[in-house]
Amino acid sequence: MSRIGKAPIEVPAGVTLDVSKSNVVTVKGPKGQLVQQFDQDLDISVADGTIEVNRPTDQKRHRSLHGLTRALMSNMVVGVSEGFTKTLELVGVGYRCANTGNLLELTLGYSHPIYFYVPDDVKVTSKMEKGSPPTIVLESIDKQLIGQVAAKIRAFRKIEPYKGKGVRFKGEVIRRKAGKTAAK
């Protein structure tokens, strides 16, 4: 049995859950609403403020979907009740960021600025404070969407291992390499 799949999901107060016949799950909470369809073979049951996911057989397909479905539903419940936040830091001389609504302008050492439109479901804010690197804060109720947006922003200038310059997640540890040694 999947350790993740068999763990029940606690539904916090203020969150309502609706499961249709075709396993379309709708989760509503104070932050918003998320809808997702899951595999019809799995049995999703809601009782006494908890959600349980059960699989019909021990086939490899059912075993792989069991834990995945439970994790996705847990992320939906956490998203509509608390939300998710990702923080990115721009490390490098002259690296800047600014946003106008959902349009993010990045200056990352290229000959031109990069304009990136963040989806409407994600709230973006940028901070430029003296003494700390420029930061981009992303907030959303959809964990998958916020992760995808953060990965796209990070891909504009990945961290290089020699000087550590680039776009990184806050708190990310970068493996540094030693440069060339000077010959005498």
Question: In this model, does residue 94 exceed pLDDT 70?
Answer: yes
Strand partners, 136: 88, 126
CB count within 10 Å of CB 105 equals 14
Last residue of a domain, one of 66, 81, 96: 81
Question: In this model, does residue 37 exceed pLDDT 70?
Answer: yes
pTM for the model stands at 0.88
Last residue of a domain, one of 47, 81, 115: 81
Higher pLDDT, 5 or 76: 76
User: Is the distance from CB of 95 to CB of 134 less than 8 angstroms?
Assistant: yes
* Residue 181 maps to a domain: no
Same domain, 95 and 146: yes
Q: What is the pLDDT of residue 143?
A: 95
Same domain, 76 and 90: no
Last residue of a domain, one of 46, 81, 116: 81
Same domain, 117 and 156: yes
* Residue 3 maps to a domain: no
Please give the Cα distance from 63 to 70 (Å, whole number).
Answer: 12
Question: In this model, does residue 21 exceed pLDDT 90?
Answer: no
Per-chain mean pLDDT for the chain: 90
Buried b (16+ CB within 10 A) or exposed e, 49-74: eebbbebeeeeeebeebbbbbbbbbb
Q: How confident is the model at residue 49 (pLDDT cuts 50, 70, 90)?
A: confident
Query: How many Cα atoms within 13 Å fall on the side-chain side of residue 22?
Result: 4
CATH of the domain at 58: 3.90.930.12
Helix (H) or strand (E) holding 86: strand 84-91
Same domain, 55 and 114: no
Please give the Cα distance from 100 to 125 (Å, whole number).
Answer: 9
163 phi/psi in degrees, rounded to 5? -110, -15
* Domain total in the chain: 2
Same domain, 61 and 75: yes
Q: What is the pLDDT of residue 1?
A: 53
Question: In this model, does residue 7 exceed pLDDT 80?
Answer: yes
Structural domain including 69 reads: 9-81
Same domain, 160 and 126: yes
* Residue 4 maps to a domain: no
Read off the pLDDT of residues 134-161 as tens digits, 9 standing for 90 and up. 999 999 999 999 999 999 999 999 999 9
CB count within 10 Å of CB 106 equals 23
